[in-house]
Amino acid sequence: MRSLGVYSLNYRSKFRNGRMGVLAERNFRLFYVGYSASLLGTAMSSVAIAFAVLGSGGTPTELGVVFAANIAPMIAFTLGGGALADRLGRRPVMLAADVARCAAQGALAATLYLEQPRLWLFVAAALVVGAGNAFFQPALAGLPVQIAPPGRLGDANALLAIAQPAGQVAGPALAGILIAATSPATVIAVDAATYAVSAAALAMLRFTVAVQPGSRSRSLLRDLADGWAEFTAHAWLWAGTVQFALFNLLTWGPYLVLGPVVARDYLGGARAWGAIVACYGGGAILGGLLALGRRPRRPLVVAELATLGFPLPPLALALHLPAVAVAAGALLAGLGSAFGGALDATVTQQRVPQQALSRVGSFNLVGAFAFGPVAFAAAGPVAAAFGARAVLGFGAAWAAFGTLAVVAVPSVRRMTWLPADPPRTGHQGVGSVRT
């Protein structure tokens, strides 16, 4: 028994010191379980809601309205969400978002069990969930510095980068099984339960960071102005945001719209496109795993070069390459997205003052995704004018150019990985942080 105890201690020591050692930290482990559960539920409910709308007599246009209602609050409320998270604390804002999303999905599921709901109820639930996302996501940008040791930030961000694609791969499959066995209402109820799990995990976190008084005397507009000053003070930060704003407009938005169309025309349709999407998710999981324990000397250069996988799938479709080549390109794109995203998030958390992280994250989110609706709406008409292959080929070229342009930025090339406990400096007037 004594030797078994020694073995157990040695095993725990190796685990704590290994690449997955950040999971030995109670706060991070609790949050990660709750966050992963909510992402899985979200991926499941997106399938269930589509079938529920159509099963209630809805048209594809009405389904599009429901999906748009989920996206619109992200654009409208993300900046305010970042300011509130830095002012009131990340955990209370995230808790409120989880409770609201749980209530919205629970009410929708209950109504589906009792009757055939009208379109407005689906839209209302989507608006609440989208608003919850708008407050949760910028708060999440600053939370890792509070729940993971400074030396483990990179590993924490790598694991967070794995959670979403894992949910996107597993969620639709589980949703399909549950819908076939029960109903869409059951899957939506499961999603509501996963938000409750996430809220419970957040509630159980223990913080040692002291609450600093005085931030409520400042206006939210002043907080946002200070956050904007912090955001624009770092060329490497805003250059990456501009890069992905144009990337989503010119490359990824058209790819997501036109990819299924081109796949239908020469790859055989939905099965091939489904495999390509699954390969992207699998690549993202692999990229997150590869990021564990990595601390490159020039993290932003490595992160940017990893995004050179993004041009591959649209280029393969533009060239009418076989499905296996498109899938391989999607796998490399997903790998680079998670790997580079983990490094980029860690650099931001190392270099931006903790009390401004959520506001900076909100500007990054809004800037990167603001053109998404334009890209989705314009892809079809532009493809009708110039051809889908030309649009995809241009998008691939632009993605490569954007990466190389950002690598040429001096502050990107000079950026180094900081030691475990770096000094934190920032602009005067940036508000205090609460837990």
Q: What is the DSSP string of 160-177?
A: HHHHHHHHHHHHHHHHHH
pLDDT at 208 over 90: no
Q: How many Å apart are CA 37 and CA 46, to the nearest integer?
A: 15
Higher pLDDT pick, 353 / 68: 353
**Amino acid identity, position 16:** R
Tell me the DSSP string of 174-233.
Answer: HHHHHHHHS-HHHHHHHHHHHHHHHHHHHHT----PPPPTTGGGS-HHHHHHHHHHHHHT
Question: Residue range 139-159: average pLDDT?
Answer: 91
pLDDT at 3: 52
**Amino acid identity, position 303:** A
* Number of residues in the chain: 435
Q: How many Å apart are CA 175 and CA 119, to the nearest integer?
A: 21
pLDDT at 240 over 90: yes
pLDDT at 215 over 60: no
pLDDT at 18 over 70: no
Tell whether pTM > 0.85: no
Q: How many Å apart are CA 249 and CA 251, to the nearest integer?
A: 6
The answer to whether residues 86 and 230 touch, using CB atoms and an 8 Å cutoff, is: no
Higher pLDDT pick, 429 / 128: 128
Question: Residue range 36-59: average pLDDT?
Answer: 87
pLDDT at 230: 94
pLDDT averaged over every residue in the chain: 87
Record the tokens describing residue 344, joined without a space. Answer: 């980029």
pLDDT at 263: 85
Domains, in order of start, for the chain = 27-205 (1.20.1250.20), 233-418 (1.20.1250.20)
Q: What pLDDT digit, counting tens, does each position of 254-305 carry?
A: 998 888 888 888 888 777 888 888 899 999 999 999 999 889 999 999 999 9
Range name among 147-161, 392-406, 418-432 with the lowest pLDDT average: 418-432
**DSSP type of residue 14:** H
pLDDT at 216: 58
HEC-encoded secondary structure of 45-75: HHHHHHHHHHHCCCCHHHHHHHHHHHHHHHH
Q: How far apart are the first and last CA of the chain?
A: 43
Confidence at 435, pLDDT banded by 50, 70, 90: very low
Q: What pLDDT digit, counting tens, does each position of 402-418 carry?
A: 999 999 999 999 999 98
Record the tokens describing residue 98, joined without a space. Answer: 């989880």
**Residue in the structure block whose two tokens are 């938000």:** 195
